[in-house]
Each structure stands twice: as structure tokens, then as C-alpha cells.
A = this chain, B = another copy of it.
């Protein structure tokens, strides 16, 4: 997190009003994929998922500046078909496996159905980004994009850019 002493001065507000007013997500783009149905999507991107385009909404394209083909990134999506009232699941939808709290699983059914996808940037367009592989279906809202800091193969790059 950046140190920004001006934050509170420029935007004075209480935590409670900040929470009330600002917990609404703005989709910054949308997934355009050949996968059209949740029932046909693999459970993880590494399980045979395709590359897709993220169509980035006008007004957010400047925020792509600095991304390049080959970058490994995290894409956060809003899994709009998920069930938000589910607190326990059988992992991998396998009834033989014990019911487990959703916070100990990657189930899309959870109170805030945020999908976390580690993908590679294939191509950067003016208002779209080719990425993959990713199991999110066509029409899935994208809510954030971040560089990966955790993988060993990225460690050198990350250190040399001082963990941007």
C-alpha cells in the first residue's frame, strides 16, 4: 500500500460512510470468450481453458499503460452466475468429499464471488487485452488487474523494479 498522507486531508470521511458509499464495484471490462456456459467451463485456467479478450471499458484504458505481452498478471473477475448464500461446499463438486467452508476452497459460490485468475498477457490493444488461459465465461465482468508478485520466476523482475 502506498504511503499517502494527503489521503485523509483530500477526502475526509469516516470509515462507516466510506464503507457505505464505496463497496460498490465498477466493472472495468468484460470477458469475451468462446466459453459461453458455466457448465462447460473447466474449474481452473490450467485445465484446458482458452485465451480470451478483456474488452476494457472506455475511461479505464489508461490504467493498462505499462502492461506488455508476456507479463504474468492476476485478473479479478465478478463471477456473476455464482450463488452468494453458499457457505460450505463439497470441494470440486464431489459429493464424496467432506463439506468444507468456502473460504478454504476456490468455489465460485461464496459471499463475494470474486474470481482470481493467474494468467499471461498475450497482447495489449488500445482498449482490450488478450490474456489466458482463463476459465471465466463470456460476459464475466472484470473488476481488477494486478501484476503477480508471488511467483519465483517473477522474483528477479519484481525485485529489480522494486516491487512496483
Contact across chains for B23 and A102 when beta carbons are under 8 A apart? no
Contact across chains for B83 and A65 when beta carbons are under 8 A apart? no
Known: A114-B76, A136-B1. A8 touches B106 (CB 8 A): no
Main secondary structure of the interface of A (DSSP, over half): loop
A73 and B74 CA atoms in complex are apart in Å by: 15
Number of copies: 2
A15-41 residues at the B interface, CB under 8 angstroms: 15, 18-19, 22-28, 38-41
Contact across chains for B105 and A43 when beta carbons are under 8 A apart? no
Contact across chains for B150 and A2 when beta carbons are under 8 A apart? no
Q: A116: which B residues are within 8 A, CB to CB? A: 74, 76, 116, 146
A82 and B18 CA atoms in complex are apart in Å by: 10
A106 and B2 CA atoms in complex are apart in Å by: 9
Distance (Å) between the CB of A106 and the closest chain B CB?
6
List chain A positions with a Cβ less than 8 A from chain B: 1-5, 7-8, 10-11, 15, 18-19, 22-28, 38-44, 60, 62-67, 71, 73-74, 76, 78-84, 87-89, 91-94, 97, 99-116, 118, 135-136, 139, 141, 143-152, 161-164
